[in-house]
Amino acid sequence: MRFFVPALALIALLTGPCLAAEVESAALETDLSYGYSRATSASMQGFVELVPSLDLGTSENTSLIMSARLRADAKDELEPGRPDLDSYAPGSRPLQLGNTGTAELRDFYFEWRSAHGLARLGKQQIVWGRLDGIKVLDLVNPQDFREFILDDFADSRISLWSAYFDYNLGNWRAELALIPDGTGHMIPGAGAWFELTAPRFRFGAAAGQPGLPVSIAQPSHAFDDAAAGLRLSRQLNNLELALVAYTGSDPEPLGRLVVAGGAPAVERFYERRDAFGFSVDMGLGPAVLRAEYAYQPDRTFNTRSTGALDTVALDQHRGAFGVDMDGPLGIFINVQYLVDTIAAAPAGLVRPDRDRLATLYLRRAFAYDSVVVAARWYHSFTDDDDLAALSIEYDINDSTAVELAAQYFSGVDEGLFGQFRDRDRITLSLSHTF
């Protein structure tokens, strides 16, 4: 796989002259944000992003899609010091620009289309989940958690080198993904603004207590860590049914105790996982009902019953449903509920054996859609904590928009959202598309 990236770059170079005359679209987007927290009198963060993208059509049925992200943090708090990128496979790792800057290839793939389907080869996102902000069948791409879950999923997903095929088989649609890229979740390090401090993310270490130093067993880019997934879907009148099977490297890290420099430490490492599930989308009058379920047999989890850090293989059942509808006064409403259960969980499991989460999303547009007010609420029934977010976006013109947003966390230090109760923020963002 180390030859894959240069090969694609060479193809782009060789075909560049013929592509340049047939550019279908090109966009350059900037985003500048400033945040303030009640936990400190200083600014939480500020960053500038450039997102150039190109859609180059070689013919009616062939395109080369490219997009990149150049990011510079004005205040080094999202990932203090030089970013730790060891969770990325070598060929997917962003280029580091000092301590506060990164350059990342977001998309780079060739797409071939025919009457029966399409094929994509290169770095891309493959999205099979249908729920909003909840991952059940969204199994392929790992996430960047430097902004926890506050960033849009489309922006926080980490693109992977993969081959994707979408083919019509009569009444069925078949999607096949082959991913020789073992990249895991991007977990913010010690001292980061959204450092994960709840026990479930610290391999059972108590919140507020100093943990052991952490190192990472780097994922490989070899085919022995490759993933593969298959999605079969069928439309039946106003109902879509989909079946999903997936096997590959688990993006969630596990921990094991090691000795580094004569002192104990925790090493993050990755195991494989299998998943089987289904989804249902159904229109019911003014509402759309969505449901997803994933069964992951013998998934590996950490235990810490006697102080020692160990692993155990357990079955996981993860299911969620949601409703989209247009409510009164032109308000769009989305309600979702998630249940995540570990079967036969032993004592000392570092995460809860049963997670229950509810979400509510409201959106209202004004002034011919030039002003959008949105509110989002997450509630964990397991930890009895909350995240509430409110945003107002104004489109100054077709290419420029400004957004004012606020996020508020509540709960105890050990909770999913309570761990950030001193990390509330207010952000002002400006974006411009050329």
CATH number of the CATH domain containing 333: 2.40.160.10
Among residues 56, 138, 65, which one has the least CA distance to residue 105? 65
pLDDT tens digits for range 62-78: 989 988 888 877 666 66
What are the DSSP E strand ranges found in 250-286?
254-260, 263-269, 272-284
Q: How confident is the model at residue 44 (pLDDT cuts 50, 70, 90)?
A: low
Q: Which domain holds residue 36?
A: 4-433
Amino acid type, 158: I
With beta carbons less than 8 A apart as the criterion, state whether 179 and 140 touch. Answer: yes
* Domain count for the chain: 1
pLDDT above 60 for 7: no
Instruction: Tell me how far apart the alpha carbons of residues 419 and 434 are, in angstroms, rounded to a whole number.
Output: 39
Q: How far is CA 87 from CA 75, 252, 399, in A?
A: 23, 10, 35
Question: Cβ contacts of residue 6 below 8 Å, gap of 6+?
Answer: none
Maximum average pLDDT range among 15-19, 69-73, 212-216, 323-327: 323-327
With beta carbons less than 8 A apart as the criterion, state whether 156 and 145 touch. Answer: yes
Instruction: Tell me how far apart the alpha carbons of residues 168 and 318 are, in angstroms, rounded to a whole number.
Output: 29
pLDDT above 50 for 89: yes
First to last CA, the chain: 35
Number of neighbouring beta carbons within 10 Å of residue 46: 17
pLDDT above 70 for 276: yes
Instruction: Tell me how far apart the alpha carbons of residues 314 and 255 are, in angstroms, rounded to a whole number.
Output: 16
Structure tokens at 219: 């994922």
